[in-house]
A = this chain, B = another copy of it.
């Protein structure tokens, strides 16, 4: 194999790795939120949860669990809960409120009232999935509780909510080149969500504290890269230099892990 076809083959293989994880998370979600009575609740919940675009944080959770030697199934409830938290934020982020100047997306399958209530219902549903994933036969209550704390923090007041708060300010200001604000939003939204995903996966997979810490950092840098590229102007050299630094910090965290598995992780930052 020539180096370029080897690289191409690796990229395809890494892509199919993430595709298979995304597919497993989606299957888990479909089963967890299968439509059941009361239909007035589960039908929109199923719809809103599955319509919300997938985010890499849940996939990273399952992959981190495998990287430390666990099986991805051990992290599926946490990955699904992370997607649900993201879906609740996404739904409420697009809610037409009387003090928001315009609806941010044009098509809503349900009215604001339903979207508000279902968003509210999705959050505890995520915690319910998580706590039910406790397996007394395997004595993992401590790991599950630790993960609940992590996910509660990142979903709540110290995490996404304050990112969303800044994002609304950002969307309403016309200054879309404020790098500091872009960084603060990316930190609170994508950064901490990916940090949490990777950390929770490592905890559930039975990683040691060093592994948990490295994956936590890796997740944070990956999320920052995603958030900054999503919000920032790619022709801005200062921004792009910072992105490159973050990518390199992310890759640094991967030393010491199983070399073949690490490939897919490196792929996540486009390296």
Q: Write the residues of chain A forming the contact surface with B, with a CB cutoff of 8 angstroms.
A: 38, 40-42, 45, 85, 88-89, 92, 95-100, 111-114, 116-125, 127-128, 131-132, 134, 136, 141-142, 144-145, 148-149, 151-153, 155-158, 161-162, 164-165, 168
Question: Using Cβ atoms and an 8 Å threshold, which residues of chain B touch A165?
Answer: 40-41, 114, 117
B152 in contact with A127 (CB, 8 Å)? yes
B127 in contact with A157 (CB, 8 Å)? no
Question: Using Cβ atoms and an 8 Å threshold, which residues of chain B touch A117?
Answer: 92, 161, 164-165
The docked-state distance in angstroms from the alpha carbon of A119 to that of B165 is 13
Looking at chain A's contact residues, the main secondary structure is helix
Question: Using Cβ atoms and an 8 Å threshold, which residues of chain B touch A89?
Answer: 120
Task: Count the copies.
Answer: 2
Minimum CB–CB distance from A215 to chain B (whole Å) comes to 21
Question: Using Cβ atoms and an 8 Å threshold, which residues of chain B touch A41?
Answer: 157-158, 161-162, 165
The docked-state distance in angstroms from the alpha carbon of A121 to that of B99 is 19
Question: Using Cβ atoms and an 8 Å threshold, which residues of chain B touch A134?
Answer: 142, 145
A157 in contact with B125 (CB, 8 Å)? yes
B157 in contact with A45 (CB, 8 Å)? yes
Minimum CB–CB distance from A42 to chain B (whole Å) comes to 7
B125 in contact with A111 (CB, 8 Å)? no
Interface pairs (7), CB distance under 8 Å:
A40-B162, A89-B120, A97-B112, A98-B112, A123-B124, A123-B156, A134-B145
Residue of B nearest to A97 (CB): B112
The docked-state distance in angstroms from the alpha carbon of A191 to that of B151 is 29
Question: Using Cβ atoms and an 8 Å threshold, which residues of chain B touch A145?
Answer: 131, 134, 141, 144-145
Residue of B nearest to A33 (CB): B157
